[in-house]
Each structure stands twice: as structure tokens, then as C-alpha cells.
Amino acid sequence: MIESLLPYAVNELKGRTALVTGAAQGIGLAIAQRLGAAGANLVLVDVAAHELQQVATHLRERGVSVIAKVMDIADRPSAQALRAELVEAASGIDILINNAAIGPERNDPAYLVAKPKFWSTPDALWLEMLRVNVFGAQLLSTLFAPDMVQRGWGRIINVSTSLDTMYRQGIGPYGPCKAALEASSRIMFQDLDGTGVTVNVLLPGGPVNSRMVPADCGIEPGDLIQPEKLAEPVLWLCSNEANDVTGLRLVARHWELALSVQERLTAATAPIAWPQLGAQSHIPAAKA
């Protein structure tokens, strides 16, 4: 069910255009609602056609400018066609939220209790998760980052998961794919550092009340992190106050609005991909 847009930070993002993938439900929907409430124009992408059109209709009824596209984010021709359409409409992407993913429930709806073995995952599902969960974010970032660099302002936020989820037994390909996305995010951050385009990773900090945690997992919906919890830090990361905030992984569960911004950053963030573990390889100096 789509919640009413909150009268929060109205027009803070007026004039900005945000592309949100996996926007028809769960985390993507919550983020889209919050960005729309802040005045952003929205480009919403999902493979669930009916649900996506419902979301677009509700948001438009609330005065939000919405383009809705049923699209496979890992299909290059489709992604290129979307960019070409936006260029034609003079609507560049300022904010890219790479949220769409195939979840562990596709492998087993009771994965948190059944803990299926790694050899039980079909090859086709493994490869599709790699394609969507990793390459999809890479592809869209590749297509839209250069435009952001040219304008001197942009945001890329990749939705990831906790370190212990990445290697949780029973999680199947989902965890390793998110680990790959995190490593990729650090490369993006380093390549874009100093351009005005920031790259940060957002994670819930636990299982979220969404389709990825079916009832078969045995957790009450009220005990899960609610998707709206992730929308709060996204809005801040997209604000001008966060122009110099890049290269961080942010745990939404620890982002408390009652704290000052600096206290929130201290409590909820760390560098992307754990460089604090120190260098673990020796690269010989290249000869000229």
C-alpha cells in the first residue's frame, strides 16, 4: 500500500531528477516517495509492470513528475534507450539509486530457517543474480555518471547489505553479489572523487519488511526494519549539505534524526568495502 507523501523537506530537491530502480515496492518505493516529496522529478524503473503503474499514478496524483519504465536494468539496449529518451527530453539524471535486485527468497522462501546449501542453487539463478544485482548497477552507473560529471553534480547510491549477510549461511548468491557490488562501489567512488559526483552505499542493517523476507522466514513484519527507514538517509545524501560526503557505507538502522548530522555520521557510517582492514597485497612498482 502506498503511504501518503509526507510534508517533509518540500522542494529541497526541486529541479533534480532521480532514477530509482526496483521502485515498485519495498525500499525502492519508500525512497521514491521521499524524493518525490522533496520536489525531485522521478524516473522509476521496475520489471513489475502493474505495480509500477500503480505507484506512478499515486505519485502523479500528489503532484510528482514521474516517468515510469518497465525495464530490465541489465539489458544494455533498454538502458541506452532510456538515456536517449531522457536526453531528448532534456532531463538528465542527477541522482541514481541502484536498488533493484533479485533476493534470496527466489532460492528458497524459507531461507532464513531452511538455510539451503550452496549447491542447491540452480546455475541459472546464480547467473541471473550476478547479472541484475551487480551488472545492472554497473551498467546504469556507466551510462549516467559521465553526464553527472559534465554537470559537476551527482549522486550514486548503491543499496547493499551487511557484511555478515554477505556470508550468511543459506543466503545463496545474494550475499556474494552484494559483496561484489560493494567492491564495485569503491572503484566508482575513487574514479569519481573530486568531480562533484558522490558515491555511497546504503544498507538497512538487518532484514527489511519487503518481499525479500517472506512469511516462511518466520519473522513478524513488525520486527523487521521498515523500508521508510532507508529513505531518511537517502534524502540527506542527496542534499547539498552532503556535497562532500562520498565513499561511505551507511547503515540506515543507526541513522537517528534526533542526533546531529555529525553524530549520525559517526554512528552510522564507515568507508566503503572495509579499507580499514589494511592493505593485504603487495603491488610491485611499475617500471617506466
Active site residue ranges: 174
Cell output for 170:
543459506
Cell output for 166:
554477505
DSSP secondary structure letter of residue 18 = E
Q: How far apart are CA 93 and CA 147, in angstroms?
A: 8
Torsions phi, psi of 242, nearest 5?
A: -105, 20
CA 57 centroid distance within chain = 22
Closest CA to 45 of 29, 67, 21: 21
Residue 244's alpha-carbon distances to 28, 236, 259, 268, in angstroms, are: 24, 12, 20, 17
Closest CA to 22 of 155, 161, 229, 210: 210
| Residue bearing cell 509492470 | 49
